[in-house]
């Protein structure tokens, strides 16, 4: 590993390296090594460096290690002055001989050590007391137990069940519910998808597919890069005619609209709709963490498409140089309106489905970098769980006992009655906000708006009546003048003259 001088916080440090340099160097080394090969991912390289840091093969520039973390950034590290290998304790030759001969017989080893401690031999300048002998007894027992425990093998099924169990535990903790029965079926959690999405990623955290036939077509990727990097582009030449960017955008939209299934899949529709209830200002952090875990459940091709799409529309909506792509809508509104159905929709169309999807896509655009990144704490929790499983502290991931996981408290604990009251009020507030979105949506045609309001009134009459208590308030929304029917005039019947004489 090459070392050189680095500057950080106005100070110079010699014989050190950045975390990014270490990742680059080790990643290249592993990929070119016959024992590993090009299948090694950058995320696996980072995990290996973290193990080096945990075991004091390397340390940060301040000499810290073990509990510190390492990411692909400019943080400075160095090699420790001393070797990380533990020094072997010096033992009396007779003790070492007894230990080797009787290692498999704990009682005999302990008995001989006690006899030696009573004689307290004095040889080679070493003094053995009762305390030293008791320490040796404990050391032999502990090492024997550790060796016997570590011999327990962990199967691939154990690893997969650990991933399933840990992600469900975290999701339950984040959502603050006593059970996930109403949120997700555990059988819907596919551990292979989670493991793939966690480990096979690029430097920027985007999933890398081994089977290129599942990837986006090259022409779609080129078009997405063109608009994401507008006006500069890497794969396409500058436009030569007016409206070029609109044609490119239409090409991308047509591809995603023609997909047979939304990116979040029909299977997880209910899961993501339940999380929509958390999109409140005081629960924003909880929603981000919950969505981060739920997006790991997606099939790798879907997660990759979602990542690339969110990165593109987020950049486009923030790009001040992006030409107007629609005559009546801004770029952000156009992105949400175009791709909502591509991201979330039900297998059977339901009322207000589009508005729910638009709300989720808007939130994903604003927080895509956090939601679609790989949570490092999940990998650590699974490793701890497998370590406990290996040592026999738990029988299997489903026995109700789990290794201590780092938990997060997002709000103050409340009673069951308060929870039920808040659940109702939060749901009503979310539905009321949905009504306001329909009312304030200027891009929605009047006829369509009337239709959606009628649907809303049918589904939620009380909330609708609270918003429009009188017919005048409803008429004012559309600028209609209330029609007042004139009272019917009571006309006398005309008298007809009889023609008979």
The answer to whether residue 96 scores a pLDDT higher than 60 is: no
Average pLDDT, the chain: 78
Q: Is residue 65 a contact partner of residue 56, using CB atoms and an 8 Å limit?
A: yes
Stronger pLDDT, 441 or 110, i.e. the higher one: 441
Q: Which residues of 389-414 are buried (b: 16+ CB within 10 A; e: fewer)?
A: bbeeebeebeeeebbebeeeeeeeee
The answer to whether residue 476 scores a pLDDT higher than 60 is: yes
Among residues 332, 330, 334, which one has the least CA distance to residue 317? 332
How buried is residue 127: exposed, middle or buried, by Cβ count under 10 Å (0-12/13-18/19+)?
exposed
Q: Is residue 241 a contact partner of residue 234, using CB atoms and an 8 Å limit?
A: no
Q: Is residue 300 a contact partner of residue 193, using CB atoms and an 8 Å limit?
A: yes
Encoded tokens for 415: 């009673």
Ordered by where they begin, the domains of the chain are 4-78 (1.10.10.10), 93-150 (no CATH), 202-373 (1.10.555.10), 416-476 (no CATH)
pLDDT at 159: 92
Interior angle at CA 131, CA 130 and CA 133, nearest 5: 65
pLDDT at 353: 74
**3-state DSSP call for residue 123?**
strand
The answer to whether residue 234 scores a pLDDT higher than 50 is: no
Q: What is the mean pLDDT of residues 107-122?
A: 41
Among residues 330, 187, 305, which one has the least CA distance to residue 255? 305
Stronger pLDDT, 35 or 46, i.e. the higher one: 46
The answer to whether residue 99 scores a pLDDT higher than 70 is: no
Q: Would you mind telling me the total number of residues written for the chain in this entry?
A: 501
Label residue 415 by pLDDT band (50, 70, 90): low
Residue tagged 């017989």 (tokens): 105
% the chain with pLDDT above 90: 32
């Amino acid at each position: 590993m090459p070392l050189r001088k680095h500057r950080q916080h106005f100070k110079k440090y010699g014989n050190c390296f950045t975390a990014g340099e270490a990742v680059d160097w080790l990643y290249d080394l592993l990929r070119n090594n016959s024992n590993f090969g090009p299948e090694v991912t950058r995320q696996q390289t980072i995990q290996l460096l973290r193990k080096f840091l945990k075991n004091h093969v390397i340390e940060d520039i301040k000499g810290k290690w073990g509990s510190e973390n390492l990411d692909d950034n400019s943080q400075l590290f160095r090699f420790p002055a001393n070797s990380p290998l533990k020094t072997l304790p010096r033992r009396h030759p007779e003790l070492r001989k007894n230990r080797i001969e009787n290692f498999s017989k704990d009682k005999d080893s302990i008995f001989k050590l006690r006899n030696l401690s009573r004689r307290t031999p004095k040889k080679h300048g070493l003094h053995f007391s009762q305390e030293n002998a008791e320490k040796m007894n404990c050391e032999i027992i502990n090492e024997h137990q550790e060796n016997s425990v570590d011999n327990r093998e962990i199967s691939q099924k154990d690893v997969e069940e650990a991933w399933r169990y840990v992600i469900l535990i975290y999701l339950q903790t984040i959502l603050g519910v006593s059970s996930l029965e109403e949120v997700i079926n555990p059988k819907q959690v596919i551990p292979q998808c989670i493991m793939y999405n966690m480990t096979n990623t690029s430097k920027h955290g985007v999933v890398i597919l081994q089977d290129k036939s599942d990837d986006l077509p090259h022409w779609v990727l080129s078009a997405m890069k063109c608009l994401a990097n507008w006006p500069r582009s890497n794969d396409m030449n500058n436009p030569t005619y007016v409206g070029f960017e609109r044609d490119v955008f239409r090409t991308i939209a047509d591809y995603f609209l023609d997909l047979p299934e939304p990116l979040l899949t029909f299977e997880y529709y209910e899961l993501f709709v339940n999380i929509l209830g958390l999109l409140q200002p005081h629960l924003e952090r909880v929603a981000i963490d919950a969505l981060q875990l739920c997006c790991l459940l997606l099939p790798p091709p879907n997660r990759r498409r979602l990542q690339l799409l969110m990165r593109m529309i987020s950049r486009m909506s923030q790009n001040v140089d992006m030409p107007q792509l629609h005559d009546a809508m801004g770029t952000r509104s156009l992105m949400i309106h175009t791709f909502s159905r591509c991201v979330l929709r039900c297998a059977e169309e339901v009322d207000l489905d589009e508005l729910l999807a638009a709300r989720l896509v808007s939130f994903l655009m604003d927080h895509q970098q956090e939601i679609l990144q790989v949570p490092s704490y999940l990998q650590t929790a699974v490793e701890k769980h497998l370590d406990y499983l290996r040592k026999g502290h738990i029988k299997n991931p489903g026995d109700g006992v789990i290794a201590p996981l780092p938990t997060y408290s997002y709000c103050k604990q409340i009673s069951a009655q308060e929870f039920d009251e808040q659940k109702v009020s939060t749901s009503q507030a979310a539905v009321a906000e949905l009504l306001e979105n329909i009312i304030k949506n200027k891009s929605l045609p009047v006829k369509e708006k009337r239709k959606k309001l009628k649907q809303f009134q049918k589904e939620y009459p009380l909330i609708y009546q609270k918003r429009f208590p009188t017919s005048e308030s409803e008429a004012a929304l559309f600028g209609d003048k209330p029609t007042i029917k004139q009272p019917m005039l009571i006309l006398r019947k005309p008298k007809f003259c009889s023609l008979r004489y």
